Structure 1
């Protein structure tokens, strides 16, 4: 059995009631965690957390999918909730092998590393991956709305701690532009007309 759980803080319960995936269960970080002396969200012991998960309808052996809406493309709350499953006896569902890329597999033909690496001798700006990004050989996509990427809309990040509105080398590819005014995925032809889905976009460095 598969349970789809929508993750939101308790005060947004009305938003959940107004729109959510059919049969999705509302789970709350305010209920799954507690305010301790030094933390706004502290972890319960795993046996107490397990009781809450059972209360929302998730039982042993079931597969869950977490999703949310809000800051950082909706990933903040669902990612936080996923970390709650670290303590205790929880097992992640195996990924399909052909879709699972391991760091050790990310090597060039000459054996150079293609993932970000930061050491005292070499900054990430000098890594082989960064060099390939600058030549348009590697594409990292930022799926947030275009205004957040450009810095014309609030990113939800602390401007005193985060410089800029995007990671250098990443390309703006707003996932929202793939959805029409009815909230449905656009057709194949409409998607091809998006400015960031063409081959020229992926071949050009630092778009």
Structure 2
């Protein structure tokens, strides 16, 4: 048995003991009959009901004189189930999705995307900004409509974000972003499973959507390991056509700055000042681009008039092939080895970057598997090239 498995087993055993103890007290006939008399009883973290004291008294009358073994076990298992949902991982396997595909509280998002040139940001702002009904109609993805996982709705990166002056995928305000998500039929209590196809074992664009929902405060979201190809190769069914959705009630929270970084954040860091000028000495700046782009043996891919190098001084290269293989995200030992090779310092906070924030999101997903929380620099190299290309000064 591995150390991780042993620790998880020990944790669950402790939960059983704690829940057993709490359930025995919660259902005991005495002294809680008099203690809760006339008081409003609210749901606690280990309780399974919510209501007035009359409901509690009626329940206790039915359970006297002592709770049965079955009730204690059920309470304990309920506690474990609650904990399991609260600590769900960031990556889900195909078999789990196949078993829950018809669960009304599980919503599947297809994040299939084809990279295309950035639209003119001023024109988009004047004609299309926030006009989601029009954008949905004009941005239909043919690969999604041809074939997708049953019940999946398409999450389109060109609709969910807008082209900013410097950023390729700029974030809408929470109030606007939630309008788009609601049009996809998503509710606030839904568990979201997102997949894509193409690069990084079909997980690249799905990771971007995963990170985006996290930034807006939705924690209950996972990426399908291996993407659409993993689903198909396992022999599971698919469907075609566009999936209509009933308006959802999903709500966006404020932008989580512990997960998101922009240019201003990195030039005015509270501990490191201008991190570009200080060679990222205060943080781990992990660059997810291919090694050739990082070291300059391959071109940047966009104009950068003041650039004298191919990456930011102090950045550390963790290319995506070190994070994800042909069938999905690599195991933890491989991820740890990739960080070690890059010179990762666990005592420092972490920011990921790439060309436009997409590969950086995939790297953030890999880091999350190790329990490492990272901010994604949303604008990344494409923003620096337009805004401050002099910071691209190392090879």
Larger Rg: 2
Which structure features the higher share of helix residues?
2
